[in-house]
Amino acid sequence: MPPRMPVARKPAASQTPIRKIGGGPLAPDRVAAILKALDEAYPNAHCALDHRTPWELLVATILSAQCTDARVNMVTPELFRRFPTPAAMAKAALPQLEELIRTTGFYRNKAKSIQGAAKKITEDFGGQVPQTLAELITIPGAARKTANVVLGVSFGKAEGVVVDTHVFRIARRLDLAKADTPEKVEQELMLVLPRDRWISFSHQIIHHGRQVCTARNPKCNQCNLETLCRAKDKTWES
């Protein structure tokens, strides 16, 4: 009996194959191919947190910790209607803030953070969200990731790469980073990516992580990065 011939797998019809790229995982042409594929898949990727001002984005980003952006967007309209400025929120009763943000989880700590941020901005920055990383990370609740979000989205300043759970996971799956903490992954990405892509890369990867490259059972047959990916948990092999 003749041996069975392997059946070649091919991408789904909607997937545009990417030519094989030589060199190691951080080879410039491979990184460029990844960025090109992201541009093709997510040309208009943007921050999913609804906001009108840098202050609203800062608060929304603090609330988004361990919470979905969709849930935050359900909470913030009433929060900002009641307390539209840092000065107003600084004077709010803490139980009022807690009740308004309860459904975002960890609401007691988050209420303290956003009120602390409001007081810091009112007292030390004249009511305006500062535009430097060094100043932003002095604000309660605004660690480096939050600061990078505000700087990139509100001010167009690329001081770092936003590394949320999606960016952390996918950067490692794509071999763009190997570190085991978000802070170290950010430093690796800053060395690999062109600076003019630090902001857009995060938005695109976050969309990709939600829609395709999910934590469990990634939809590799729908991924236009699949031929560039050698992740151990792939569900599809080119």
Catalytic sites, residue numbers: 145, 164
Cβ atoms of 190 and 198 within 8 Å: the answer is: yes
Count the neighbouring beta carbons within 10 Å of the beta carbon of residue 30: 20
DSSP labels for 90-101?
Answer: HTS-HHHHHHHH
Residue 3, amino acid = P
Angstrom distance (rounded) from CA 93 to CA 156: 34
Q: How many angstroms from the chain centroid is the CA of residue 236?
A: 25
Count the neighbouring beta carbons within 10 Å of the beta carbon of residue 129: 23
Cβ atoms of 171 and 177 within 8 Å: the answer is: yes
Tell me how many helices (H) and strands (E) the chain has: 11, 0
User: Considering only CA atoms, which of 109, 108, 154, 150 is closest in space to residue 133?
Assistant: 150
